[in-house]
Structure 1
Amino acid sequence: MTLSFDPDTVQVPSGHHIGGKYVELPGEEITVLRPSDEKLMGVLSDGGADSVEMSVAAAKAALSKSKWATMAPRDRARVLFKFADKIEENAEYLGRLEAMGSARLVSGTITGDVVRTAGVVRYFAEYCDKLEGTVTATKADTLSFTKREPYGIVGAIVPWNFPLITAAWKFGAALAAGNAVVMKTSELTPHSLLATAQLASEAGLPAGLFNVVNGYGHTTGAAIVSHPDIQIISFTGSTQTGAAIMSLAALSGIKPVILELGGKSPQVITRNAGDLDMIATRVADSFMVNAGQVCTLPSRLLIEDCIADELTEKVIARTKKIKPGPTWDANTTFAPIISAKQLNRIDGMVQETIKQGAELLAGGARLEAVNEGNFYAPTIFTNVSRENIGFTDEFFGPVVSISRFADLEDAITQAQHPVYGLAASVHTTDMREAMHVVDQVEAGMVFVNQHGRDPEFTYTAGGFKGSGFGKDMGRAGFEAFTREKAVWINYH
């Protein structure tokens, strides 16, 4: 397969996807630009409350007519397996849409993101007949047990950095558990998810169970969170927006929320890490992937004193080997920033970090225009105080700081962040060191000798503290879309 393609030849879907079909609704126009060249990809409307109301009505009708929640679990699984097959059969089309509209490189979307999306759906389909309860101890003439049931309608709001795969973590689990879904795309990256919803219809998923609406957070997103018939909210995005969602969910009617939020993840490298050339490649690649637009980005490198100078030089050298370019070119190795607005935000924070006393070691500026797209140089700081914006705030770009530590206890102290606790990693061949960091660091995800997950589905994603609560993926990610009912039967 030749991965590179001409973006102007790809058909782009339009409208919202409600009740199993594309629907055009009036609303403020949303102009979607390709981040690689700032050219128009499509124009959609902000659906607002009307699109959410229509989706909820379609979801309620679908749940009632199809009996999705109460049908034989294996019958539900068969539909989801067909859905997964459809996704994989259309991997080239979905992968091209994903590459065009986001910062994801085509070298990783067709054979990576889309295939994994199909895998997520299959993984959760296997859980359909594995929803179990518990019988509790009682006296002889009484039966007490628990059973898990779907909520009904799930509201999901997904980010722009990994549009397809992050959405699949939510809709795959929610549908497998017997729910209907009303999902809002990011206004920056809507098209691949709209096309996926159409494939669900073609695979035989009852119309109305999976609805995708477009719009802004303060309009369509708020309408999802506050709708009384939406029983649970799942959101991935910034800590500030997560807090606003919690507040709105409480004010508009008590309902649970699942939040995966921002991070300021540490990456601890000890003297026992191993070959420094290998470590430099691993460490540098981990913060340059997707141009740093990753919630778990290891944006704080903590390096043991005795290897800090040498490793820092090697990491800086690695950042010089990037090949920025359009996402539809298979030779591109470094992605664009999602929008001009985000590029300006990153640069503003970088300049403020310098102003507040940090030392710039590499980068620190926009890259020379590539195809008129939004590109920012991999940026490395040192001497970033804990009061500096470079420590306190999330860049969501290819920006890291380097600090030194004297011993492992010092590293663990520096690794803790007063707000965030999403992810962390440690690089060492000494497993006693590794497990000490694993036990002590405050983070919902910890990696050893890598940073970031492999393409597996059993590993749960979620953070501590200001990085959220609840889990995506794994058994916990499936059970999150069910609620437990206690049953007491007296038969004497």
Structure 2
Amino acid sequence: MDFHNLQYWQQRALSLKIENRLFINGRYLQAAEGKTFPVHDPAGQRELVQMACGSHVDIDLAVKAARDVFERGDWSQAAPSQRKATLLKLAALMEEHQEQLALLETLDTGKPIRHSLRDDIPGAIRSIRWYAEAIDKVYGEIAPTGHNTLALIHREPIGVVGAIVPWNFPLLLACWKLGPALAAGNSVVLKPSEKSPLTAIYLGDLAQQAGLPDGVLNIIPGYGYDAGKALALHHDVDALTFTGSTLVAKQLMIYAGESNMKRVWLEAGGKSANIIFADCADLDKAAQNAAAGIFYNQGQVCIAGTRLLVEESIQQPFLQALRKHAATFAPGNPLDPQTVMGTLIDDQHCEKVAGYIEQGLSQGASLFLDGRHHPQGQHRSYLGPTILTQVNNTMNVAREEIFGPVLAVTTFNGEQEALKLANDSEYGLGAAVWTSNLSRAHRMARQLKAGTVFINNYNDGDMTVPFGGYKQSGNGRDKSLHALDKFTELKTTWISLE
């Protein structure tokens, strides 16, 4: 078989059998109320399947199953080495089914198959494997108390975790939550987005094959206003972990306060600034990274470099280099392994993003590159690379998360103006600085209000480093050992030595 051939993937897509039921307590079930919703292929403009639509009834069943197994201790009290072995088996099964998972992800979201195969699914596997390998190497502490006492500090699993994940990287972001939550010994109720539930549902069967005890992982596709709300309000959910919009993140905090004060960990919106100084050593490399930083995954990336701040003296040569690299992101058939830019998640989102382009123009921005005219013609889910220049920080395109392939370009003069412009945002997920001046790089990194500052790169990183933001980009961190903080309680045992 030729994995680099469009026909290969088209044939696989036509013969694909898609699971369309909820996964509760180790088995697939129809929704309790019998409701379904359609799952669409945005590129093929066809319905893939009618998915069981979970409601508050199904959430109650899933939470009960998760609580029961947690209290029994089948998983929560298992030795870390045992949890490690099971999760490593899950990672191996995901690797074995990597093509199937990648195909489901591409059909579900419209992202290129080359990215699903290269990035999304391997990244999801790495997350499960990394936390599996880490969990039997996490030690407790002994506090430095007086000679007549002994204070032991150790971590315990927090209990039942509700995980709500978005549609832009469905399985990858789910596994950023599942890896540390499961490794720490928790039970999880996962609610994938109704726009992209297919890989999450497929994962249920793999978890069962891996030997995860019934009830430890439950997967409930459904709408946010029903299943998501029920999960956030549930009194028997101990922690909620979420990636998505800032608007929904704020509502989840309200629900937690209205219920049992469950821990709420949020990775929300972003409006990251990518700052190019005139002393950048390699403008072409910076332009290539800037293009990838906003046009990869069709711009549907929370940490996308959606604001480009360019020192005025190099604006013109930099924009020309940027245009060249933007041209490599031509929208195409996501099932074609040569395609590097697929569709947006659906027609409605595409129209919303196109509306931001119109807003920018009406507020005084100039159109340097228009992505509304692209090789796919009138297909309503496609939008190509778009670059707006002469943008200032009062415009909506500079302040609001567009979540599409639209780059807002602003010029600056000097370090202090760049810093002021970059920090003038309600978000603080990421930022980047391109400079050959080491002192400037450190000065900017210390003063930028962002969870991650990239120096002479954009959005590099791996599982060893935490991911999350300042301000309204959220709280807590995904990835790294720091993610375990979200899913564990610290317990002190104070012993008097008499």
| TM-score, normalised by the number of residues in structure 2 | 0.95
Query: Matched residue of 1:489: which SS?
Result: strand
Give runs of aligned pairs for residues 337-348 of structure 1, distance below 5 A. 337-348=344-355
Q: Work out whether 1:462 is the aligned partner of 2:468.
A: yes
- Which residue of 1 is the match for residue 440 of structure 2? 433
- Which residue of 2 is the match for residue 11 of structure 1? 17
Give the distance between the partners of 1:462 and 1:103, measured in 2 at CA: 26
Query: Matched residue of 2:134: which SS?
Result: coil
Give the distance between the partners of 2:134 and 2:202, measured in 1 at CA: 25
2:480 to 463, 470, 474: 474
Alpha-carbon distance, 1:449 to partner: 1.5
**What CA deviation, in whole Å up to 9, does each residue of 1:364-418 have, x standing for no partner?**
5364646945111211112223221111211000011111111122211111133
Q: Which moved more, 1:63-72 or 1:406-415?
A: 63-72
Q: Work out whether 1:334 is the aligned partner of 2:368.
A: no
Give the distance between the partners of 2:144 and 2:292, measured in 1 at CA: 53
Give the distance between the partners of 2:378 and 2:41, measured in 1 at CA: 11
**What CA deviation, in whole Å up to 9, does each residue of 1:133-154 have, x standing for no partner?**
3222333322222221101110
2:47 to 36, 40, 44: 40
Indicate conservation of the 8 Å contact 2:330/2:375, yes or no: no
Give the distance between the partners of 1:371 and 1:166, measured in 2 at CA: 31
Q: Which moved more, 1:191-200 or 1:359-368?
A: 359-368
- Structure 1: which 4+ aligned runs deviate by more than 3 Å? 366-373
Give percent identity, aligned residues only.
33
Letter in 1 for 2:216: L
- Which residue of 1 is the match for residue 262 of structure 2? 255
Give the distance between the partners of 1:228 and 1:369, measured in 2 at CA: 48
Indicate conservation of the 8 Å contact 1:270/1:427, yes or no: yes
- Which residue of 2 is the match for residue 380 of structure 1? 387
**Structure 2: 5+ residue stretches without partners:** none
- Which residue of 2 is the match for residue 162 of structure 1? 169
Indicate conservation of the 8 Å contact 2:332/2:376, yes or no: no
2:100 to 67, 84, 93: 93
- Which residue of 2 is the match for residue 305 of structure 1? 312
Change (3 A) 1:111 1:297: closer
Alpha-carbon distance, 1:61 to partner: 2.7
**What CA deviation, in whole Å up to 9, does each residue of 1:76-115 have, x standing for no partner?**
1111111111010111111111111113211121233212
Give runs of aligned pairs for residues 367-446 of structure 1, distance below 5 A. 367=374, 369=376, 372=379, 374-446=381-453
Alpha-carbon distance, 1:296 to partner: 0.3
Change (3 A) 1:373 1:204: farther
- Which residue of 1 is the match for residue 290 of structure 2? 283
Q: Which moved more, 1:158-167 or 1:478-487?
A: 478-487
Q: Which moved more, 1:211-220 or 1:323-332?
A: 323-332
- Which residue of 1 is the match for residue 144 of structure 2? 137
Give the distance between the partners of 1:488 and 1:123, measured in 2 at CA: 32
- Which residue of 2 is the match for residue 488 of structure 1? 494
Alpha-carbon distance, 1:487 to partner: 1.7
Indicate conservation of the 8 Å contact 2:466/2:477, yes or no: yes
Give the distance between the partners of 1:445 and 1:333, measured in 2 at CA: 26
Letter in 2 for 1:97: L
| TM-score, normalised by the number of residues in structure 1 | 0.96
- Which residue of 2 is the match for residue 221 of structure 1? 228
Q: Which moved more, 1:239-248 or 1:118-127?
A: 118-127
Indicate conservation of the 8 Å contact 2:392/2:410, yes or no: no
Letter in 2 for 1:388: M
1:151 to 123, 144, 158: 158
Q: Which moved more, 1:262-271 or 1:65-74?
A: 65-74
Give the distance between the partners of 2:385 and 2:176, measured in 1 at CA: 29
Alpha-carbon distance, 1:30 to partner: 1.3
Indicate conservation of the 8 Å contact 2:393/2:421, yes or no: no
Q: Which moved more, 1:408-417 or 1:109-118?
A: 109-118
- Which residue of 2 is the match for residue 363 of structure 1? 370
- Which residue of 2 is the match for residue 188 of structure 1? 195
Indicate conservation of the 8 Å contact 1:458/1:473, yes or no: yes
Number of corresponding residues:
491
Alpha-carbon distance, 1:429 to partner: 2.5
Change (3 A) 1:132 1:314: same
Alpha-carbon distance, 1:439 to partner: 0.7
1:74 to 73, 81, 90: 81
Alpha-carbon distance, 1:66 to partner: 5.0
Alpha-carbon distance, 1:39 to partner: 0.8
Query: Matched residue of 1:469: which SS?
Result: coil
**What CA deviation, in whole Å up to 9, does each residue of 1:326-368 have, x standing for no partner?**
2111111212110111011111122112112222211153646
Query: Matched residue of 2:145: which SS?
Result: coil
Give the distance between the partners of 2:299 and 2:363, measured in 1 at CA: 22
Give the distance between the partners of 1:155 and 1:318, measured in 2 at CA: 41
Letter in 2 for 1:199: L
Indicate conservation of the 8 Å contact 1:10/1:96, yes or no: no
Give the distance between the partners of 1:102 and 1:329, measured in 2 at CA: 14
Q: Work out whether 1:121 is the aligned partner of 2:122.
A: no
Alpha-carbon distance, 1:274 to partner: 2.3
Indicate conservation of the 8 Å contact 2:330/2:374, yes or no: no
Q: Work out whether 1:351 is the aligned partner of 2:365.
A: no
- Which residue of 2 is the match for residue 322 of structure 1? 329
Letter in 2 for 1:485: K
Q: Work out whether 1:208 is the aligned partner of 2:209.
A: no
Indicate conservation of the 8 Å contact 1:270/1:428, yes or no: yes
- Which residue of 2 is the match for residue 175 of structure 1? 182
Q: Which moved more, 1:237-246 or 1:132-141?
A: 132-141
Query: Matched residue of 1:432: which SS?
Result: helix
Letter in 2 for 1:413: K
**Structure 1: 5+ residue stretches without partners:** none
Q: Which moved more, 1:364-373 or 1:29-38?
A: 364-373
Give the distance between the partners of 2:75 and 2:371, measured in 1 at CA: 53
Give the distance between the partners of 2:119 and 2:394, measured in 1 at CA: 39
Alpha-carbon distance, 1:46 to partner: 2.3
Indicate conservation of the 8 Å contact 1:131/1:148, yes or no: no
Give the distance between the partners of 2:47 and 2:455, measured in 1 at CA: 42
- Which residue of 2 is the match for residue 2 of structure 1? 3
Give runs of aligned pairs for residues 49-68 of structure 1, distance below 5 A. 49-68=56-75
Change (3 A) 1:332 1:370: farther
Give the distance between the partners of 1:466 and 1:112, measured in 2 at CA: 27
**What CA deviation, in whole Å up to 9, does each residue of 1:251-271 have, x standing for no partner?**
112111110010110001112
